[in-house]
Amino acid sequence: MNRARSTLWMLAALGGAGVVATYFLEGPKRFWENWLLWFVFLACIALGALFLVALQHLTGATWSVVLRRVPERIAALTPWLVPVGLIALFSLPVVFSWAQPGADKITPIVLKAHWLNYPFFIIRLVVCLALWVLSYAILVRGSIKQDSSRDPTITVKLRRYSPVFMIILALTITVFAFDWVSSLEATWYSDIFGVYLFAGATTTAIAVTLLAVIYLQSRGRLPDVTADHLYNLGGLLFGFTIFWGYIAFSQYLLQWYADLPAEVFWFRQRTVGSMEPVFILLGLGHFFVPFFALMTRSNKKNRKRLRWVAMWVVFMGFVDVFWLISPIIGQGVHLGWPELAFAVFFLASGLLVVGRAMSRGEDTPIGDPFLPDALEFQLR
């Protein structure tokens, strides 16, 4: 156990103590709000990373083979979601509006009762988690097996499974977004919300991948990843930044224009008072800053600048989830030691999980038949 790892263990223990203390000192509402926030944020990163892996197999991209191990290892967060998600089930009677006493008298919630009830909700979570862990096992374990067997048919199998995974992901992430974010305020309607969460998840996962690649390179690993590979990753991040902006604004514009009380209360909760600066920060920071920062070719090839942009985008991904979930415990921004404790606990334990995965298999998928193409990849 090296020093970095023992520091992370210590931080996780410290954060864990703060997490437990939150429950008793600040009350269960504050505790569950933060727990849900980190559950959703980690799920976004894990699913986004799985999406990136499957996207490469689906499109038959060869340039990215050299760095595919990085999103594969970040996706190691997926099994870690199982305990976090199952514990989160205990938050249902505390923070979910449809599970509160008196919810059976609110018409929109009654109309959704066939969907929002304890047994079905739990079944959905278990099915989602099972499908994600299964997909992780298929997509990542197979790829690691290839390191030693050098069997090209594994690539063929992964390419066949990835479209199936895309359909699974589209359905499960929509269910996940509706269940774990929308249904907190169960009278709200937004059909596009699943896509919104997916856009944010993919953007964050690409930024985390970029950060991990640049970090590993600073430690002398992944020597085959050139500025051209980083340029392509930066281009992906640029594209998904625009996609997020497009989806986020579409959702806002439609509800702003229709101005229906059943919809706008949700935005009001998130745009007035001390949430207003967060809202403005999200709009400017999640779209305009990375949009202009990633526009030029030189910025996408410069490791230092890319690292700054990627760090900023990951932070904005967190602000996005914070903006979605934190208003459920009342008006305004809630920031204090509990939030710090949760951040320390989940970041440290998440890094431990990913760090452990970093030692599994080779740094580059040496058994992949398309690796030579990836090594030769050049922009011009």
Partner 1 sequence: MRDRVFGVLGLFKSGDALLEAVPRLKDKGFTQLEAYTPYPVHGLDEALGLPPSRVGVLVFIMALVGGLSAFGLEWWTSTVSYPLLTAGKAYNGWPGWIPVVFEATILFGTFTAGLGTLFVFNKLPFFGDPVFGTKATLDIGRDRFALVVLSADGSLDAPAASAALSAVGGEAIEVVPLPDRPKAGIGWWMKVVIGIAAACVVAGFGVAWAVRTMPTAKPWVAMEVQPKLDAQQADSFFANGRGMRRPPPGTVARAYMPILAKDPEQAGKALVDPLPVTARVLDRGQEMFNLHCAVCHDKLGTGKAWLSKRYKAQPANLQSSMMRQATDGALYWVISKGYGTMPGYAADVSQDDRWAIVRYVRALQRSEDAPTRDEVGARSPQPGQRFARSQPHPPSPATPN
- Per CB under 8 A, residues contacting partner 1 are 249, 252-253, 256-257, 259, 295-297, 378, 380
The burial class, CB within 10 Å (0-12 / 13-18 / 19+), for 1 is exposed
Contact 42, 342 (CB under 8 A): no
Nearer to partner 1, 25 or 295 (CB): 295
Cα dist. 35→29, 31, 221, 334, 347 in Å?
A: 10, 6, 34, 14, 13
Cα dist. 342→95, 131, 287, 349 in Å?
A: 17, 27, 26, 11
Give the nearest distance from C-beta 71 to partner 1 in angstroms. Answer: 26
Give the nearest distance from C-beta 229 to partner 1 in angstroms. Answer: 14
The burial class, CB within 10 Å (0-12 / 13-18 / 19+), for 72 is buried
Nearer to partner 1, 272 or 295 (CB): 295
DSSP H helical segments within 188-272, as ranges?
193-218, 227-258, 261-271
Is the dihedral angle over the CA atoms 216, 241, 189, 50 positive or is it negative?
A: negative
Give the nearest distance from C-beta 195 to partner 1 in angstroms. Answer: 17
Nearer to partner 1, 100 or 269 (CB): 269
Among all chains, which residue has been given the structure tokens 């990163």? 45
Contact 290, 309 (CB under 8 A): yes
Nearer to partner 1, 87 or 295 (CB): 295
Give the nearest distance from C-beta 297 to partner 1 in angstroms. Answer: 7
Give the nearest distance from C-beta 301 to partner 1 in angstroms. Answer: 12
Nearer to partner 1, 243 or 315 (CB): 243
Give the nearest distance from C-beta 280 to partner 1 in angstroms. Answer: 13
